[in-house]
Amino acid sequence: VPVGQRSEPTLSNDSLIKRAACLVTDSTQTFLSQTTYAVIESLTEYTTAVYTLISLQQRYTALLEKMNPNEANAIWQVVIGARVQMTNLKERYLRYEASWQRAVSISEMAAEAAYQAGADEASVSVRNHIQLVQTQVSETRELALKAEAQLAAAQTEEIRRSITEDKDKSPNGGSPRISISDEEIPEAYLRED
């Protein structure tokens, strides 16, 4: 029994596993890039939609006194459209955020597997990539939170003004007004978790 003299296939298996672990890190980096792009793009579009809504509401309020009911209604429809658009974009963002979170988790596991397989460079590369995209997404979230805070402030101001106006004069013939409901108060959609 030639114990000890047998050829060890260790090196071969180890190098194949290392190579396979590198393939995994390569593909998870692509997945991470793709989902990061989607989450940043969708979050930026959502933020833009929030500012569009703020601006439209302000314009509507400013022009309300000078418009006839038809004109007021036409602009009101645009405000409604902007609000629907904003809601859709938020849903899209949340969907991409979920797949981005999955990509981050898979990338973390891939980095660990690569490290354990001896592919240190690939492991470090993935970890750096994860840090980078987390910073990018976090910065983009800040901008969205700022926009939501402005929307909340604008709507609080609108409530205050409409209460003052209701005191001063009678309602203006059923013309549509900005309806302030609970659903418009920005929720903590973008809280970090």
Q: Which residues bind a second copy (CB under 8 A)?
A: 1, 3-4, 9-10, 13, 16-17, 19-21, 23-24, 26-28, 30-31, 33-35, 37-38, 41-42, 52, 56, 78, 81-82, 84-85, 92, 96, 98-99, 102-103, 105-106, 109-110, 112-113, 116-117
Q: How far is the CB of 42 from a second copy (least distance, A)?
A: 8
What's at 88, amino acid-wise?
Answer: N
Q: How far is the CB of 157 from a second copy (least distance, A)?
A: 22
Q: How far is the CB of 51 from a second copy (least distance, A)?
A: 11
Cα separation, 107 vs 177, in Å, equals: 49
Cβ nearer to a second copy, comparing 4 with 171: 4
Cβ nearer to a second copy, comparing 21 with 72: 21
Residue 71 to residues 65, 76, 110, 133: CA-CA distances in angstroms?
11, 8, 58, 46
What's at 5, amino acid-wise?
Answer: Q
Cβ nearer to a second copy, comparing 19 with 161: 19
Q: How far is the CB of 69 from a second copy (least distance, A)?
A: 22
What's at 85, amino acid-wise?
Answer: Q
Cβ nearer to a second copy, comparing 30 with 134: 30
Closest CA to 28 of 116, 169, 130: 130
H-type alpha helices, 117-180: 120-168
Judge contact between 103 and 32, C-beta under 8 A: yes
Cβ nearer to a second copy, comparing 116 with 172: 116
Cα separation, 48 vs 27, in Å, equals: 32
What's at 136, amino acid-wise?
Answer: Q
Q: How far is the CB of 28 from a second copy (least distance, A)?
A: 6
